[in-house]
A and B are shown apart, each in its own frame.
Chain A
C-alpha cells in the first residue's frame, strides 16, 4: 500500500478527474445529464453537485465493502448502492427546493444509470482503499460538476442572456433560443470539445521543440 501510494500520489487521485481525465471533456461519460439538464447554470451546478454527492458516497461504500462483495454479483450490488444514494439525493433536493426538483425532473433518478458512477465503482473504488476511493470520487465529481457548470453557464448566457438567473447581458441582446433547447446542448458540447482539443494540440505542439532543444 505504502509503495503504491508513492507511485500514484494522493493528490493525483484528486486532480486527475478535474482536468486530465475529466469525465465529460475527456472521457465523454454520462452524456445524458450533460446534454439534458444544462440549460441553465443553476441546473448544471445542482446536477453536478447531486452527482458528486452520489459518487463520493458510493465510492466510499463500495471501497469499504470491496472484500465482502463476491465478484459474481458485484455489478448488481454496486447498482443497489448507487440507487440507494440517488434516492437519498432525490429526497434531499425535494427538501431543499421543490422548484429545483421540478426543473431537474426525471434526471435525478437517472443518476443511477450514469455510467460515470458505476465506472468509478468498478474501475477504482472496488480496487483501492477508502481514502483513495473518496479522493477519486471527489475529483471525478468535481470535474463533472465543473463541466456541467461550464455547459450550463454558456447555454444560459446565450439562450437567455442571464447567469444564475441574473441578467448580465443588456436588454437589447437577442437570446439564441436554440441554446436552451436540447439541440443547444450538442452545439455547446461540440464547441467546448473543439476548444479544449485545440488548446491541448497547441500545447503538445509547443512542448516538443522545448524538449528537443
Chain B
C-alpha cells in the first residue's frame, strides 16, 4: 500500500498544536455546514409543523377552515373558525398514561353546542392491533362526534362528568363506549379527556366570547 495514502502511522509523538489545528479546523467546517443546512431548511420545517398542526386542529373541529393559536391560558389552545369567520370550536391537547407509554390526544370543544366534537390521537405507542384501535375503530371514534360536556348551572364544573362504560352500553350522551379487547387504552383516553374537560370546559366556556377570528378574515389561500 502506498504510504502517502495512509494516515501517518509513525510512532513519533506529534506536537499538540497539530492536533488542535486538525480538530478545530474540522469543527469549524462542520459547524458552518450545519448552520447552512439549518438556515436552508428552517422555513420548510416551520411550515411543515404548522401544516401538521393545522391538519390536526381542522380534523377535530369539523367545519373549521383556519385556526389561531392562543398561549396565555397556561397551555396552548387553538381556536378554529369556519368560512364565515365564526368560532367553530376550540381544540386543545390532553395526555395521560396508556398501556405502554404516554398517549397524547387533541380534541375539539364546541362552546355553542357544549359538546366535544372530535378527537385525534397525536402520539401513542400502544400495541398494534389492540390498543392502537383507539385511533382506527370507527365505533369508538363515533363517541367523540357529539360528546355531551354541558356545564353545571353554577358554571364551575360539568353537569355530567365524562364517563367510560362497557362496550355497547352507552345510553347517555356523556358516556364513552370502551373497545372490547382494548379496555386499558380506551379507558386511558376517556380518563384523560374527562380530566381535561373538567378543568378546561368551564374556563373556555366562560371566555368563549374572547375567541374572535383574526383581522384578515378572508384568507388569501
Q: Chain A: residues with CB nearer than 8 A to chain B?
A: 1, 4, 65-74, 76-77, 80-81, 83-84, 87-88, 91-92, 94-95, 97-99, 102, 126-129, 159-160, 175, 177, 180-181
Contact = CB atoms under 8 A, between A and B. Distances in A.
B34 A69 contact: no
Contacts of A66: 5-7
A181 B34 CA distance: 34
Given A81-B26, A159-B128, A73 B34 contact: no
Given A95-B44, A98-B49, 14 more contacts: A65-B26, A66-B5, A72-B14, A73-B19, A73-B22, A77-B23, A80-B26, A80-B30, A84-B33, A91-B45, A92-B37, A102-B123, A126-B6, A127-B6
Contacts of A180: 128
B7 A126 contact: yes
B48 A70 contact: no
A71 B30 contact: no
B30 A81 contact: yes
A80 B27 contact: yes
27 contacts: A1-B5, A4-B2, A65-B22, A67-B4, A69-B22, A69-B26, A73-B23, A77-B22, A80-B27, A81-B30, A84-B30, A87-B37, A91-B38, A91-B41, A94-B41, A95-B44, A97-B48, A98-B49, A127-B5, A127-B6, A129-B5, A160-B128, A177-B127, A177-B128, A177-B129, A177-B130, A181-B128
B25 interface: yes
A145 to B, nearest CB: 22
A200 to B, nearest CB: 30
A41 B33 CA distance: 31
Interface residues of B, number: 33
A100 to B, nearest CB: 11
Contacts of A160: 128
A69 B7 contact: yes
Interface in B1-51: 1-2, 4-9, 14, 18-19, 22-23, 25-27, 30-31, 33-34, 37-38, 41, 44-45, 48-49
B19 to A, nearest CB: 5
A112 B19 CA distance: 22
Nearest to A129: B5
Contacts of B26: 65, 69, 77, 80-81
A181 B41 CA distance: 33
Contact of A91 (B6, B30, B37, B130): B37
Given A4-B1, A127-B7, A160-B128, A88 B33 contact: yes
Contacts of A102: 123
A97 B44 CA distance: 10
The 10 nearest A-B residue pairs measured at CB: A84-B30, A95-B41, A95-B44, A91-B41, A177-B129, A88-B37, A94-B45, A73-B19, A98-B48, A70-B19
Task: Report which residue of B6, B18, B128 has the largest number of chain A beta carbons within 10 angstroms of its beta carbon.
Answer: B128
Given A68-B22, A94-B48, A95-B41, A74 B7 contact: yes
B41 A71 contact: no
B25 A68 contact: yes
Contacts of B23: 73, 76-77, 80
Contacts of B45: 91, 94-95, 98
B42 to A, nearest CB: 8
Contacts of B7: 66-67, 69-71, 74, 126-127
Contacts of B31: 84
A212 to B, nearest CB: 36
B52 interface: yes
B5 A128 contact: yes
A104 B29 CA distance: 27
